[in-house]
A = this chain, B = another copy of it.
Amino acid sequence: MPPTKQQPAVPLAEQKAIILREGRRVTSYDVALVAGVSQSAVSRCFKPGASFSKATYARVMKAAESLEYIPNAAARSLITRRTNVIAIVVSHSSLLYDPAALSELSQQLNRRGKRALLFTMQHEGEIESILTDVWQFQVDGVIAASRLSEAHVAEFKRRKVPLVVFNRHLRDIEVNTVLCDQYEASRALVTRLAAAGHRQFALIGGPEQNSVAIERLRGALDRIEELGLPPAPVFHGRFDYNSGVAGLHELIARIGAVPDAVICGNDPMAMGCVDAARQHLHIDVPSQMSVVGCDAVEGSNWLSYELTTLRQPLHRMAVATADLICKLIEAEGFMEPEKRVFAAQFVEGETARLTAPRATLAA
């Protein structure tokens, strides 16, 4: 066996004492001293795919473990220009009303070795200060589930920070997007309900600025007009249960009669609408009035509701989003904006009448 050439190793206990005394963190330099190798050798051992001998690796790992050494991500990212952090920008309400989306996104990023830096905003105005922080943290990319102006999108481009817009419709802006085709889903829904004999529609939409809410409304209104049905009144809610309750009362007052079908911008509003109908107004759902929600959230399929709704393929959308952001990071700017559109899946449920009523035929 040839003699192993190596630097004199510093005793572990001694090095530990020094670190403790100076109140320092453990660095790769400390590991190098204990392992009897150079600092760069330590660095290489922590880099997958780098070249080092088995013996060096063993010595380094032993020293690293006994010192509980962990590489410093800040120092690494300073030179690699990669942080392995993806910012997720999400509004307070989407977090509350659809927590599964955030959870899925986080999981998918983790699986790809990325971590999620969470930015929640209560008001649209906070976006400015959030973006400032996003730039500061040098995140590798951003997933935004929030409204973004054209100027904001342009700044992402200038700064070369990959951006994927999740489930928002940014019309006429060239930007990477993963979304569910709300417009088409709404149209198909109206078609189906109309085929079952519904004529007078009423709509409980989401906030007027919300792009998802807008698309859902547009789809329904366009299709209603195309089919020559009576115009549908619109109530703008805030995506919460109470908006559904209030919405139904107001819509009935406006029409002066019970509508055949109420299409709601999301599930909590639809559940509010169902409850208001059944418990306040003693309207039977679905025989007297149909109610449809959107999102198939936790709770929509419970026995008390069994809501008719539209399920977004959240898992697949999260996978697509994570894939896309990773691809963008790899491509380093040399990629055309990509839009990945998913179709919503109809959940029949029990709150909408989906076949023509016999009674009507008899009458």
In the docked arrangement, what's the CA distance between A278 and B245, Å? 23
User: 1/0 per position for A265-287, CB-CB distance to B under 8 A?
Assistant: 00010011011101110000000
In the docked arrangement, what's the CA distance between A298 and B244, Å? 14
In the docked arrangement, what's the CA distance between A102 and B120, Å? 10
Partner of A138, one of B74, B97, B272, B302: B74
Most buried by B among A85, A102, A122: A102
Which residues of the other chain, B, contact A50 by a CB distance below 8 angstroms?
none
Which residues of the other chain, B, contact A71 by a CB distance below 8 angstroms?
136
Give A287-338 interface residues, CB cut-off 8 Å to B.
Answer: 298-299, 302-305
Partner of A115, one of B117, B122, B278, B304: B117
B106 touches A120 (CB 8 A): yes
CB-CB nearest in chain B for A279: B303
Segment at the interface with B among A75-83, A173-181, A230-238, A254-262: A75-83
A88 touches B132 (CB 8 A): no
B117 touches A116 (CB 8 A): yes
Which residues of the other chain, B, contact A133 by a CB distance below 8 angstroms?
115
In the docked arrangement, what's the CA distance between A116 and B159, Å? 23
Number of interface residues of A (CB under 8 A): 56
Partner of A120, one of B107, B119, B120: B107
CB-CB nearest in chain B for A83: B74
A210 at the binding interface (Cβ < 8 Å): no
A170 CB to closest chain B CB (Å) equals 22
In the docked arrangement, what's the CA distance between A241 and B299, Å? 8
Which residues of the other chain, B, contact A158 by a CB distance below 8 angstroms?
68
Which residues of the other chain, B, contact A120 by a CB distance below 8 angstroms?
103, 106-107, 110
A68 CB to closest chain B CB (Å) equals 7
CB-CB nearest in chain B for A137: B73
Which residues of the other chain, B, contact A299 by a CB distance below 8 angstroms?
241, 268, 271, 299
A241 touches B271 (CB 8 A): no
CB-CB nearest in chain B for A272: B302
In the docked arrangement, what's the CA distance between A37 and B305, Å? 67
Most buried by B among A83, A133, A241, A303: A303
Which 5 pairs between the two chains have the least Cβ-Cβ distance? A99-B99, A275-B303, A70-B135, A304-B304, A106-B120
Instruction: Please name 25 pairs of A and B residues whose Cβ atoms are closer than 8 Å in the assembled complex, sorted by A.
Output: A68-B155, A70-B136, A72-B138, A74-B74, A74-B75, A74-B137, A75-B78, A78-B78, A85-B137, A92-B107, A95-B102, A95-B103, A96-B100, A96-B103, A99-B99, A103-B120, A107-B120, A115-B119, A115-B133, A116-B118, A241-B298, A241-B302, A268-B299, A275-B304, A299-B299
